[in-house]
Structure 1
């Protein structure tokens, strides 16, 4: 009862940004709040933001100690259209650490003004110089810990860089015009190393509909996709979990076949070969890793739960698409679910559990009462049984672009906070499992940097590698808190699902009719249309569904019945021809469903036969009208299962019951003609026989 009340109490909370492609953007709302930890700018300074950006790509040490020297480096870019002069970079760090994740999150939620101190001593900041529009320069700041007056070990220190500069009007504010932040843990080595690992999701991070194919090929050859895959491969096997959407493999494989590319898209042969190599490398990585397989194209599970009328048949399509894609690419993996960040409800999780026991990746927003002490994997009791949940409990995003260095520091920070949690709570299961944004670019050597955070040696004894599956198998604690019963997230609509279901059923007809139908391609086509990536552009989805449906109906429309409008039988019983023409490019197997408007007239259906492409086949239909003189008959094309399709042929069958009389009458008339001619013939013969006698008499008389 308490839990149900909790559902209703919290259901009105405002949803965060709901991801469709990536996982990182939902935390954007936290960015400004977290900036108070490192010196939040005034509104006047904020107006300048965006023209200068800064990122941290170098930081030593990765863990603080009393005798350490902090060395931070990175890149400052002028992304605006005006120059900046006298650019300077300053280290920012507070004197005291955060001792728990709750302290950081409370500071963000309450908006507390906790400002780190800008280190301004001579020699501790970097003079970068002037930056023209589009230019960038590197910076490095070096500050010994001994000069900072820090409180010492026992927590995590936010540490960052602030950029001061003079604008093109000669104005220089003491407020930072750009900033980036990360964390430095300062804790003692735990008695037992903290389980740490990285979950690498592989899913399309671009829009649906085959856009930007050439850019995707470049990315796989030498861009983000290539570097992301290399970084995942650099993670130790014992600390690596791959979360794979099989539709990614299909979309990349399309780029390797020039015959399948859309008109106007060109992928050079060398680049296509690079894509082939990328696919082979991903397959090799998946087979050598703990791999979770999510449903093909990440279907909109929220929509399918909200509007269940067509859910069962559509889920069958998705499941078939997933299984066949894995078979085509010779891959295996445990099945898992991955709803969107703000699109998870209790009812949906119960549906997921009803379809299987696989784990589900959820956000903090979906389990708002989750605490890090429970561990990254918890068990949720549903009406269909326990469901393992992998909670993406990463700290909120912070100012500055994510780099390999900042990701490494996030993992170590989670591990440090987990160590503090376990020290103070014997029942704590806190860990440092981190889920990566699939659109993230780790850079050329980012994988090696991140890998150090999950190994005992690389972390200095703080962590040990683990996988998501290992945590699932470790008897996770039960989550008894709130799960939203409703969310405000916009999903695909009931109308969208109805149209996709109509397409699915039409494809069923085509699959039954075409002898060598590409059922696998049809499963994938329907599953792809259910993807959450269509949410931002449902008008485009409508066009895609309509075009696909029109294409399928056009093929089915090329199979037709040829028949006259009226068929006349010579008697009440007889046969008549009906012809099916196959104007498609494939052999088809089709029969006829026959029905009369008169219920007393029974017609046998015609069993399906195979008809080659471009050929015709004529059937002979036997009918017995008995006492009826006519009947309207409807003939429909039929599949092996008895399903009908296409335009019906409607015609009238007539029978003449006076047929015998007609033949008798015609016979009698013929006989009468014969008798008449015979009578005339005999009459003429008699007349000819009398004539010589008369002549003889006349001659005798003359004599």
Structure 2
């Protein structure tokens, strides 16, 4: 140790004349030389900490121990502009960015210098390894040319300043085709002095493709538009503050649309969840709750069935269903939705979301150019792998729903399957119809992954994981320049390879780019053809890959939406269909509810499965509460004196919209109850319905009456009653007939006897005087006469 210190002291003693000689001789190869540079004066004052000459190779370790980790670097350096984006044959490369002091003490005399690696990388595997290189690793040689650097005199804690410089092509010393390390080092001093290790660094990739290389590499850039859709119980979108943020300037969804718009006449591919567009349009309309209001005219068919209400059961033409004027108790009224929406009258939070949504829709409409390709995901961005395992029918509904395209935009669309991670299970792959576009990450394939694959009857575009991972750091890996240079690097190694395969990159769905004009300007290189997914898909012949060899990690399977989530979505869809079948003049609410249900089992819902399931369950309860507002009442007991009889039930509509219902009865198989097939009930009204009960057996029958929709689905409202059957038997009727015969026989006998006695009495009175004079004798006085019929008494 003593000897090492002695050598250091000797070198320090020699430092002053050596550096002074360098100053007199002019610019040297040392990092911080130059007579006019204030850093030189500082170096002279600190010769006890300096060696006689600084080596040009970037050091892996600092002179002061311990070596700083990436997060401990006192200075943060960014590369915001790099022009041109590839190494030119001649000219200069212009570099600019910022340096920020993350330390608690000031940093002074900061030199900002470029560096470049000596050898290029020529494979995607080398790029992937480079991206994982530690930030303090030696990856290139610093270019110590005093004419091509920048200088920052001082940075206070938290302060940020810009830098810029240019590097001539002849200083790069890059002669072989491939991808080079390129970056910027910031070297300064604080209270502890100065050393040779960079105090801040930024790194990226810089391709060199010879102009003599013929051809172009088909490359597609995919911009995904997807977002978590969470609804309140009433069907309005939840978390308006987050929507306003992501749709406004600087927000993620707005930034992605602005990024795509900055492509100009260059082709990009949009992958859009149509449910997202519908949700934003809902926000633009003031985020209304789901409405039960009529969208049909009276008598207009609803399209649900060819059946119509039987006129014989119409409330106005038959006593079987006679409407009454007695209103039901008033309950919470539904929003009618009539008339135009006055956005200025909305709550400020809703107004802000509506303004942001309208601007976003307008921007998206102008961003999707004719040269672009627009692809739609299954509606709601449904978790295809989860649906394949738990609910294939829901996937089919999502595909059919997406077939209608993007509402409000006159652009052709094609269906695509693409998950945020790029993974898809073989079950999910099997669900896809032939001809459906499929994007899969190259991480699912064995190395080297093909650019195009034919898998189990499907043509698959394989996307580059590396290109989407961005730059190597330690500066922002997802920065605009870092992302562009990584895409160019991946394209370059493919173009320089023997097979000239195409390249597809799906931007991270959660990426928030800052601008985009410089990004796309940097892609204007002669060897890269920026095109669409369809063009890439047909650029080369696919490689045959067996589905069983595809990798689907366990963590992906564990993240899938579970059975309970799909059950909740199906239950919500069923509730919406029942509500629509109940309403007489509304044939759209079922679709609105089904759309919400599909969004509850999206890929985004994987991060919050419980929240999304509860959202679906809350909406289902909201609907069921409205279904229960249509009620039925009936007498508690009904007695039948014969094999059939009629009784009255009352249907009450507590909704503010007309409904069409039926009544269904549940009892034992000995009793049948018939009624009108359909009954229309006006808003907030009652209708009396006559029902007929039939039975051939005596006894008590417990009956439950249900209110059902037009399809026969029970709404939840019910009432119970008892039907007593008291029929008289045939034997009793026989006895009653015999008794009636005896009664009428006795009456006839009595009448016969009366007539006979009357006749006999008349025969004995022909000679009342007894002298043979007959009837010529004088009649006795009236008072002496015997009353008529006295002889028969």
In the superposition, the TM-score normalised over structure 1's length comes to 0.76
Please name the residue that 2:601 is paired with.
530
Q: More deviation in 356-365 or 219-228? A: 219-228
8 Å contact kept, 2:231–2:615: no
- How far apart, in 2, do the equivalents of 1:74 and 1:206 lie? 37
Shift of 1:99: 1.8
Please name the residue that 2:529 is paired with.
464
- How far apart, in 1, do the equivalents of 2:200 and 2:239 lie? 31
Please name the residue that 2:454 is paired with.
380
8 Å contact kept, 1:629–1:657: no
Alignment of 1:467-486 (within 5 A): 467-474=532-539, 476-480=541-545, 482-484=549-551
Please name the residue that 1:339 is paired with.
419
Please name the residue that 1:295 is paired with.
378
1:475–1:570 distance in 2 versus 1, CA, 3 Å: farther
8 Å contact kept, 1:100–1:420: no
- How far apart, in 2, do the equivalents of 1:603 and 1:268 lie? 52
8 Å contact kept, 1:196–1:411: no
Please name the residue that 2:629 is paired with.
558
Match among 267, 272, 275 for residue 244 of structure 1? 272
Q: More deviation in 285-294 or 387-396? A: 387-396
Asked if 1:420 is matched to 2:493, the reply is: no
8 Å contact kept, 1:343–1:487: no
Match among 537, 540, 555 for residue 488 of structure 1? 555
Match among 498, 504, 507 for residue 436 of structure 1? 507
Shift of 1:593: 1.7
Shift of 1:232: 1.3
Please name the residue that 2:392 is paired with.
311
Aligned to 2:550, the other structure's residue is in SS state coil
8 Å contact kept, 1:38–1:181: no
1:259–1:108 distance in 2 versus 1, CA, 3 Å: closer
Q: CA RMSD in A?
A: 3.8
- How far apart, in 2, do the equivalents of 1:626 and 1:153 lie? 101
Shift of 1:52: 4.9
Aligned to 1:502, the other structure's residue is in SS state helix
Aligned to 2:68, the other structure's residue is in SS state helix
- CA deviation profile, 1:309-337 (whole Å, cap 9, x unmatched): x331x224423543457345555300111
Asked if 1:568 is matched to 2:633, the reply is: no
Q: More deviation in 154-163 or 262-271? A: 262-271
- How far apart, in 1, do the equivalents of 2:59 and 2:442 lie? 24
Please name the residue that 1:688 is paired with.
none
- How far apart, in 2, do the equivalents of 1:223 and 1:94 lie? 35
Structure 1: tracts of 5 or more residues without a match: 1-36, 672-703
8 Å contact kept, 1:578–1:618: yes
Shift of 1:74: 0.8
Alignment of 1:144-223 (within 5 A): 144-148=168-172, 150-164=173-187, 170=192, 176=198, 178-189=200-211, 190-204=213-227, 210=237, 213-214=240-241, 216-217=243-244, 220-223=247-250
Please name the residue that 2:618 is paired with.
547
Alignment of 1:322-337 (within 5 A): 322-323=402-403, 326-327=406-407, 329-337=409-417
Match among 131, 147, 159 for residue 135 of structure 1? 159
- How far apart, in 1, do the equivalents of 2:428 and 2:568 lie? 22
Please name the residue that 2:25 is paired with.
none
8 Å contact kept, 2:205–2:486: yes
- How far apart, in 2, do the equivalents of 1:486 and 1:578 lie? 60
Aligned to 2:673, the other structure's residue is in SS state coil
- How far apart, in 2, do the equivalents of 1:300 and 1:38 lie? 49
- CA deviation profile, 1:593-614 (whole Å, cap 9, x unmatched): 22321x2323336412222221
Please name the residue that 1:56 is paired with.
79
- How far apart, in 1, do the equivalents of 2:194 and 2:656 lie? 72
Asked if 1:628 is matched to 2:698, the reply is: yes
Asked if 1:276 is matched to 2:303, the reply is: no
Aligned to 2:627, the other structure's residue is in SS state helix
- CA deviation profile, 1:407-445 (whole Å, cap 9, x unmatched): 433343233222211xxx2xx24234433334444434x
1:596–1:291 distance in 2 versus 1, CA, 3 Å: same
8 Å contact kept, 2:247–2:360: yes
Q: More deviation in 539-548 or 210-219? A: 210-219
Please name the residue that 2:47 is paired with.
none
- How far apart, in 2, do the equivalents of 1:143 and 1:234 lie? 28
- CA deviation profile, 1:458-491 (whole Å, cap 9, x unmatched): 31x2223321111223453124263125532222
Shift of 1:358: 1.6
1:631–1:261 distance in 2 versus 1, CA, 3 Å: closer
Match among 439, 463, 470 for residue 391 of structure 1? 463
8 Å contact kept, 2:582–2:709: yes
1:142–1:323 distance in 2 versus 1, CA, 3 Å: same
Match among 270, 278, 285 for residue 257 of structure 1? 285
Shift of 1:155: 0.8
Aligned to 2:560, the other structure's residue is in SS state coil
Shift of 1:183: 1.5
Please name the residue that 2:116 is paired with.
93
Shift of 1:213: 3.0
- How far apart, in 2, do the equivalents of 1:364 and 1:92 lie? 32
1:67–1:472 distance in 2 versus 1, CA, 3 Å: closer
- How far apart, in 2, do the equivalents of 1:51 and 1:65 lie? 33
- CA deviation profile, 1:42-91 (whole Å, cap 9, x unmatched): 9852264487543211112322146443332112345x583552354332
Shift of 1:577: 1.0
Alignment of 1:11-160 (within 5 A): 44-46=67-69, 48-49=71-72, 52-65=75-88, 67-78=90-101, 82-86=104-108, 87-106=110-129, 115-148=139-172, 150-160=173-183
- How far apart, in 2, do the equivalents of 1:499 and 1:245 lie? 21
8 Å contact kept, 1:81–1:133: yes
In the superposition, the TM-score normalised over structure 2's length comes to 0.68
- How far apart, in 2, do the equivalents of 1:403 and 1:59 lie? 12
- How far apart, in 1, do the equivalents of 2:157 and 2:687 lie? 73
- How far apart, in 1, do the equivalents of 2:270 and 2:61 lie? 37
Count of residue correspondences: 606
Aligned to 2:412, the other structure's residue is in SS state coil
1:233–1:92 distance in 2 versus 1, CA, 3 Å: same
- CA deviation profile, 1:10-41 (whole Å, cap 9, x unmatched): xxxxxxxxxxxxxxxxxxxxxxxxxxx99699
Please name the residue that 2:368 is paired with.
286
8 Å contact kept, 1:56–1:74: yes
Aligned to 2:674, the other structure's residue is in SS state coil
Shift of 1:199: 1.9
- CA deviation profile, 1:131-179 (whole Å, cap 9, x unmatched): 445432112243334334x351311102122344557x75877555543
Shift of 1:523: 1.9
1:226–1:507 distance in 2 versus 1, CA, 3 Å: closer
Q: More deviation in 170-179 or 549-558? A: 170-179
Aligned to 1:222, the other structure's residue is in SS state coil
Alignment of 1:593-672 (within 5 A): 593-597=664-668, 599-604=669-674, 606-657=676-727
- How far apart, in 2, do the equivalents of 1:541 and 1:271 lie? 21
Shift of 1:653: 0.3
